[in-house]
Amino acid sequence: ISMSKRIRLYAVAVSVTCALVVQQGSSQTMSGELALPRFSVSIGLGGGIHSAPFLVDYMNAFRVSQAGDRLDDFSSMLEFFVSPAYRVEPEWSVALEYSLLVKSQTVGSGPYSSGSEFSYNVHMPTAIVHYVINAPAYYLKFGGGIGYHTATLQQILYTYGVEENFSASGVGFKLE
């Protein structure tokens, strides 16, 4: 049995990502400072900690286990992103970032259950404004933005032979 549903989801998810970033277009000035290009592209792959308690509670409802045995609220996740940016002033830049968060969780089997599998993807296109600190050997960006995010959840309940797909979308905010 395969089903597809659209759900209304009001939730806050927190992610902390450490990323490997490849950026094109920086050079040094005659004085040795890092010269930021007018246009740059950052590409990255990150692994981090993700917390979505509403989803953990939902997955725990399908878990046949001993009392007190719950999935952790914090778990690992992968995030891929690409972010073209344009420097409008020496201290300010704007970027259009596309980020994809990927997560999969297998809920173990028990004496009365064959287990379940949950996987979700969150597509997060976001317009971001950065404040840039330019130091002699590096630069730091701090910023935030807004975007329209979409998520899909696939749930496979092996015990019942059921596969369901859910989706949700809405405005999302990002701080960097």
The encoded tokens of residue 141 equal 């960006």
Poorest-confidence range of 21-35, 89-103, 139-153, 154-168?
21-35
Average pLDDT, the chain: 76
Q: What is the pLDDT of residues 24-72, one digit of tens each?
A: 555 555 555 556 678 888 888 887 777 777 777 777 766 655 556 667 7
Percentage of the residues of the chain whose pLDDT score is greater than 70? 69
What is the phi/psi pair of residue 126, to 5°? -145, 135
CB atoms within 10 A of CB 124: 19
pLDDT over 50 (residue 11): no
